[in-house]
Amino acid sequence: MNWKQVKQQWPSVEAVVRRTWGRIDEADLTMIHGERDSFTRVLAQRYGYVEAVAEQKVDAFVEGLQPEKSRRMSLTHLFHLLKDYWGHVQALSRR
């Protein structure tokens, strides 16, 4: 995911930020609002990181995020796999 996507999908990203960094509170999330510099500054303050380390952690975090569309497609794919699997289970149980 890139920073433009982070900003566009900030409400979804906020939940992941909360799970990843518990010391970041609601006021921090409101202040960050998808901005890299704000995110880095808050992370450095809450965890005592030097700015360079906070930047690396923020960038690694964002690189690991999947865009919303990709996540939906993978969930759709998973749904179809489970549906097919369930069909096989039902067929075996009828034997």
pLDDT of residue 34: 92
Mean pLDDT in runs of 10 for the chain (95 residues)? 89 92 95 95 96 95 76 59 67 69
Give the global pTM: 0.68
pLDDT of residue 65: 87
Whole-Å CA distances, 44 to 5, 40, 62, 70? 23, 6, 16, 30
